[in-house]
Structure 1
């Protein structure tokens, strides 16, 4: 359970860093704010690149699952920061993405069994 909570925390931190860093760059380019915001955004985005490496599983699984977290956090960011309230389809889509994250990251699978439980080619007897 501790590992799962830590993993969820990493996803949330990565999401906030990616969306927050991107938002700072957005403010500079789209809203004419200070270039210092863009530079801060760039630093935050580099930090975002580091956080997923703390996850306990392989790159493909982490980034596939993170996509769902990004969708949900983006909807929440748009609502909380930009004031764009999500409609039922935004909410439904985000919840589907979060369900996908749970399946991708936290469902038991064969590669997590003890090595002596997973059969290998030598343990399977071929019948003539």
Structure 2
């Protein structure tokens, strides 16, 4: 479980970070090098995701939930975004669902 969570976090850094770099390149007229580095980060994210040992469908569904939470955290710490109570409640619900999907005992 610790390995799986570590892979999720590493993948989040590259996916959300890469997307953010592309965002600021396009929205804030930054250097094309920022956008290219963002694209490279997204490719690295795709490679990191394959390190998960569960099935593709379950892993990518869970990534969706993890990325929502990580994106909100990124926005808080990088952009100064202030989540409201609905963001926090939604994140708790999402994290609960991801935990059930990924870490419930199965036959």
Q: Answer with 1 or 2: which has the greater Rg.
A: 1
Where on the TM-score scale, by shorter chain, does this alignment land: which range?
over 0.9
**1:32-88 C-alpha deviation (Å, 9 max, x unpaired):** 011100010011000000111101111001001111100100110111100011111
Compare relative contact order (CA 8 Å, sep 6+) and give the higher one, 1 or 2.
Answer: 2
Question: How far apart are residue 93 of structure 1 and its match?
Answer: 0.6
Matches within 5 A, 1:1-128: 4-110=1-107
Q: Under a length normalisation based on structure 1, what TM-score does the superposition of the two structures give? A: 0.82
What do you get for the CA RMSD once the two structures are aligned? 0.6
Gaps of 5+ in 1: 111-128
Question: How far apart are residue 95 of structure 1 and its match?
Answer: 1.3
Q: Under a length normalisation based on structure 2, what TM-score does the superposition of the two structures give? A: 0.97
Structure with the bigger percentage of helix: 2
Q: How many residues align?
A: 107
**1:71-111 C-alpha deviation (Å, 9 max, x unpaired):** 1001101111000111110011111111111100000112x
**In 2, distance between residues paired with 1:97 and 1:73?**
11
